[in-house]
Amino acid sequence: MPTPIPAQPYPYPLPATGLALIIIDMQRDFIEPGGFGDALGNDVSLLRSIIPNVKALQEAFRRYGLPIFQTVEGHLPDLSDCPPSKRDRGHGPIKIGDPGPMGRILVLGEPGNGIIPELAPLPGEVIIPKPGKGAFYATDLEAHLKAQGITHLIITGVTTEVCVQTTMREANDRGYECLLIEDATESYFPAFKQATLEMVRAQNGIVGWTGFTEPLLSALALQYDAPVVA
């Protein structure tokens, strides 16, 4: 039986099985100075506030043996998976593939492409490299989810209106029940974050649900912490 947990537009049915945590693009490129986010002209310090909540969710999912999928946005060194339109967009002085303070901008395997140390995956945890904004486009995420019988996704990460929203819409169209965690997702643009939250839950949850970290942690503890038998 699913456990209903507080969410908008109505309680989210936390399932007994089939749940996974998705952490989108918590990589140095977007969160630290000198990366892609910075090159696009953004104040990257705005994204740091969610790190403790994403970490708390990551630790809870680890504790309960539930799957965690982290993504990183990045391209092959020869940029064969980067459309010229994406490289040219932004008209900034530094483009994808150019050298930067954390290695080549948005190239897989470069220091800037690494997940921030606070959220570093453990050996064996899945990292999905993705060339697009959505985590389903040109990746094997869906194959992983199907292989593990996942039906419900807890969605976190950055940035809310770009890679997070695109991923949530892709997941929703594929039939996944998605809960976006308000205080575990962030944007360079507070108004865009707010608009995304409202768009997701409008029309009785046209794209899914929005909720907060703490009620989810409490529900997970109730559901998965084994009762102590005297």
Q: Is the CB of residue 32 less than 8 Å from the CB of residue 116?
A: yes
- Please give the residues from 134 up to 173 whose contact with ligand TIU meets the rule CB under 6 A: 158-159, 162-163
Q: How far is the CB of 70 from ligand TIU (least distance, A)?
A: 12
Has 82 been annotated as catalytic? no
Q: Token pair of 27, please? A: 């990589």
Q: Is the CB of residue 58 less than 8 Å from the CB of residue 193?
A: no
Cα dist from 36 to 65, 159, 167, 197, whole Å: 33, 12, 19, 24
Site membership for ligand TIU, residue 73 (CB under 6 A) = yes
Residue 45 three-state SS: helix
User: Of 66 and 155, which CB lies nearer to ligand TIU in the complex structure?
Assistant: 155
Among 29, 82, 130, 178, the one annotated catalytic? 130
Q: How far is the CB of 133 from ligand TIU (least distance, A)?
A: 6
Has 25 been annotated as catalytic? yes
Has 95 been annotated as catalytic? no
28-52 burial string, b = 16+ CB within 10 Å, else e?
A: bbbbbebbbbbbbebebebbeebbe
Binding mask 89-118 for ligand TIU (x = CB under 6 A): ------------------------------
Q: Token pair of 4, please? A: 């209903």
User: Of 12 and 186, which CB lies nearer to ligand TIU in the complex structure?
Assistant: 186
Site membership for ligand TIU, residue 25 (CB under 6 A) = yes
Among 25, 82, 133, 193, the one annotated catalytic? 25
Residue 69 three-state SS: strand
Active site residue ranges: 25, 130, 163
Residues that bind ligand TIU (CB under 6 A): 25, 30, 37, 40, 73, 133, 158-159, 162-163, 188
